[in-house]
Structure 1
Amino acid sequence: MYDRWLHELWNGDLAKLEAIAAGVVTADFVGNWPGRPALVRGPDQLAAVVRQGREMFDELTFDVEVGPVVQGDLVAARWVAHGVYQGEPARFRGHDLLRHDGDRFTEYWVIAEDPTAGAPS
């Protein structure tokens, strides 16, 4: 499941994001970002946030560094992203924690470095 989350949703085809999100998360999915609890509700909002983040960069890719680690209904992983931001190489890391209902994710918490920190203005 985490492979689909990272490689299909975050690295996948932008034209298919809504369909991918609908296959990866439940209709009542809730996504939480630091300082923004319940920022995302449902697969369509998730697809919109993923698209917005990915479109800030050129050549953005995500790779697993640690995990995924599964315990009960929770999945955790650490990832690294590489891309180009405002013409400059960018690299940032983050941690995902997801709750699943068996075949799709229901909740998401993320902590990530600011990918634009130190970027040219």
Structure 2
Amino acid sequence: MENIDITTAGLDPESANELVAKWLALWNGGDAIADEIIADDNRVHAAMFDGGDGSAVGGVAGMKSFVGQMRYLSKDLTFSIDVGPIVDGDHIVVRWVASGHYEGGMPGAGAPVGTVVTFYGTDILRIADGKIVEYWLNADTLSLMSQLQVSAG
């Protein structure tokens, strides 16, 4: 079995906590903060609702749009950190929970407007020069789609 080298060299805990607080503020509707924390060449790795891999979401404008799309479904969507931040070199990992009221607009959804939704996910952020340059998203989309009663057909 291969030994895994776990290190905390790189980001200091205070910087990581500050960046995560700003990341959380972005997802909670403060899109202006994206200019401060997202690199111009930021790259997203995620399974998207449209079947894409996230590569079309890039830079500051792409992240603002991506966050806005999620918030369109639930304007009161609130994200909080469940676990972390965990720092490893130039990476930060957080597990989050999001909860809010469905506003409508998801194709194929049968849930009534006002339905409370709660789902979880994990973000991995790679940091360079104090900004997020890569973002990996792993969200429990199946749980969200089930709560929204999205049909497979």
TM bucket (normalised to shorter chain) is 0.7 to 0.9
Gaps of at least 5 residues in structure 2 are: 1-18, 103-112
Q: Could you say which residue in structure 1 is the equivalent of 2:123?
A: 96
**TM-score, length of structure 2 as denominator length:** 0.71
Distance 1:12 1:58, change over 3 A: closer
Give the greater-gyration-radius structure (CA).
2
Give the TM-score, by structure 1 length: 0.88
Q: Deviations over 1:32-89 (max 9, x none)?
A: 1125142311000110110011111142100000001001000001000010112111
Q: Matches of 1:94 and 1:73 in 2, distance apart?
A: 20
CA contact (8 A) 2:101 2:117 kept: yes
Q: Which runs of 5+ in 1 are unaligned?
A: none
Which residue identity is paired with 1:22? D
CA displacement 1:94-120 (0-9 Å, x = unmatched) = 000010013111000000012232324
The answer for the alignment partner of 1:118 in structure 2 is: 147
Alpha-carbon distance change, 41 to 81 in structure 1, aligned in 2, over 3 angstroms: same
Cross-structure match for 1:61: 78
Determine which of 63, 70, 80 is the counterpart of 1:46: 63
**Aligned residue in 2 for 1:80:** 97
What do you get for the CA RMSD once the two structures are aligned? 1.5
In structure 1, C-alpha distance between the alignment counterparts of 2:63 and 2:75, rounded to whole Å: 20
Q: Partner of 2:40 in structure 1?
A: 27
Residue identity (%):
35
Number of residues paired by the alignment? 116
